[in-house]
Structure 1
Amino acid sequence: MSHAATVVTAATLSFWLLTGAMAASLSVSPTKLEIFSPQQAGALTLRNMGEKAITGQVRVFAWRQENGEEILEATDAVVASPPMIEVHPGADYTIRVVRAAQAPVVGEEAYRLVVDEVPDAAARRNGVIALAIRYVIPLFFDSPEAGQARLAWSLAHRQGKVFLTARNDGDRRAQLRDISLAGKPIARGLAGYVLGHSSALWELRGKASKDRSVKAVTEDGPVSGVADAQ
């Protein structure tokens, strides 16, 4: 598989998740995996809540952020076993997720598990539109020395638009929701992740005010700060 074929942006991820929401036969738990050294493996459970057997595929992608985009790339540092399964109606199936890399974890390593329900081939031949479900699960491997997230905010102008940027100078990711600038919502609900030593950004609607106070909520509770002007 070429490099171009293995790179996925956040916009594509959003489409996958919306498509998956239209089906309900396959469920996955947990919705996030975090594994702490010296542990090197975790587990993912797939459940078939439908009346027919489901074929599932599990792939692992290395996850990074670049210029405000989330990038997924094929990797052999972590493997899912088995990568293809058949789940019978009403049954569960456990997938082992194993870190195969020999080097110790430094800080935090971020991956995404992409779980696909493979559409029924017979239904496609009969002209039936099969909406397959896709889950994209965050996966993190953490070292004991990994530092907590440290967020810094800034406003940046790009091509006539204004963006609020969150820079994370810590090792571990920050999951953000309910971001506001000067008391006005920038992102309601889950806003996404800022990986360690990476940045994420959100476009502002309208003009930025002189008040650059930022508030958000992380997994560890509320955070606040003042955005620098760039």
Structure 2
Amino acid sequence: MSTVSKIAITLAAMSLWLGFSATTAEAGSLNVSPTKLEVFSPQQAAALTLRNMGERPITGQVRVFAWRQEDGEDILEPTEAVVVSPPMIDVHPGADYTIRVVRAASTPVAGEEAYRLVIDEVPDAVARRNGVIAVAIRYVIPLFFDSPEAEQARLAWSLSHVKGKTFLMARNDGDRRAQLRDVSFGGKPIARGLAGYVLGHSESSWELRGKTSADHSVKAVTENGPISGAAD
């Protein structure tokens, strides 16, 4: 298995996925705000605030990965195009800590660039020595850099049959991503709440359980409101 694949699988299994409409996320004692970063050219930087709501200091590591989609799957790859400062943090109880995110690439943004910030809360070594179970929390924050000319998402739906399974495919022919929630097919829900993203010029998919009906209508909710269509 490639390093990139391992990264993608690990993040998918361990991530704390942040809500569609929320502006702040909290798990354990670490509070993260905002839960999504979007930067419009000519700006090249953004900030993320971490707050320790607990009674112990929190140590964390912050990394950034380039984000793309291939065959309907999310792929995260190490990148030097965007940097975070500082990459290691210590947040005292009741204190705020600001993380600065800067696009270091010298070339102009073309369309939309997608990244994910990965914040790992390091388990408390003292608690481990005292026999307390310490659970590492991982936050994954979507990060987008947009050019003024970036086209809005344009979704097209289709059905795909692979190894006896049927998938609903969403293809995005626009530059900007589409964030989807509450996706239904044929009047039946297939993804409640946050269903994921379809990045620009990419595809995402959802497996359809049971027999596929003749009704191929698709409904979902995006950042810009409800949408509807039909799968080919």
TM-score band by shorter chain is over 0.9
Indicate the residue corresponding to 1:70 in structure 2.
74
Compute the displacement of 1:85 (Å). 1.2
Contact 1:7 1:73 in 2 (8 A): no
Q: Distance in 2 between matches of 1:101 and 1:17?
A: 28
Tell me if 1:203 matches 2:202: no
**Which amino acid in the other structure matches residue 32 of structure 1?**
K
* Residues 1:90 and 2:94 are matched in the alignment: yes
The residue aligned with 1:30 is 34
Q: Aligned pair 1:176/2:180, yes or no?
A: yes
Give how far 1:161 is off: 0.3
Picking from 149, 160, 170, the partner of 1:166 is 170
- Map of 1:104 onto structure 2: 108
Mark the runs of 5 or more structure 2 residues left unpaired by the alignment: 18-24
Q: Is the deviation greater in 75-84 or in 117-126? A: 117-126
Unaligned runs of 5+ in 1: none
How many residues were matched structurally?
225
Identify the residue that residue 191 of structure 2 maps to in structure 1.
187
The structural deviation recorded for 1:177 is 0.7
Which residue matches 1:13? 12
Letter aligned with residue 41 of structure 1: A
TM-score for both structures, normalised by structure 1: 0.92
**Cα displacement string for residues 148-200 of structure 1 (whole angstroms, at most 9, x for unaligned residues):** 00000000100000000000000000000111111111111110000000000
SS in 2 for 1:9: helix
Distance of 2:139 and 2:81 partners within structure 1: 20
CA contact (8 A) 2:5 2:75 kept: no
Q: TM-score, normalised by structure 2?
A: 0.92
Paired letter, 1:53: P
SS in structure 2 at match of 1:8? helix
Identity among equivalent positions (%) equals 77
Alignment partner, residue 120 of structure 1? 124
Deviation at 1:226, TM superposition (A): 1.1
Cα distance in 1 for partners of 2:160, 2:208 equals 10
Give 1:67 deviation, angstroms.
1.1
The alpha-carbon deviation at position 7 of structure 1 amounts to 4.7
Secondary structure at 2:126 match in 1: helix
Report the residue type matching 2:128 in the other structure. R
Offset, 1:6: 7.5
Q: Partner letter of residue 4 of structure 1?
A: T
Change in CA separation of 1:148 and 1:162 when aligned onto 2, cut-off 3 Å? same
Distance (whole Å) between structure 1 residues aligned to residue 217 and residue 7 of structure 2: 33
What SS does the aligned partner of 1:43 have?
Answer: strand
CA shift digits 1:204-229 (9 cap, x unpaired): 0111111111111100011111101x
AA paired with 1:116? Answer: D
Q: Which residue does 2:139 correspond to in 1?
A: 135
TM-superposed CA distance for 1:127, in Å, is 3.3
- Contact kept, 8 Å, 2:32 with 2:48, in 1: the verdict is yes
Shift of 1:147: 0.1
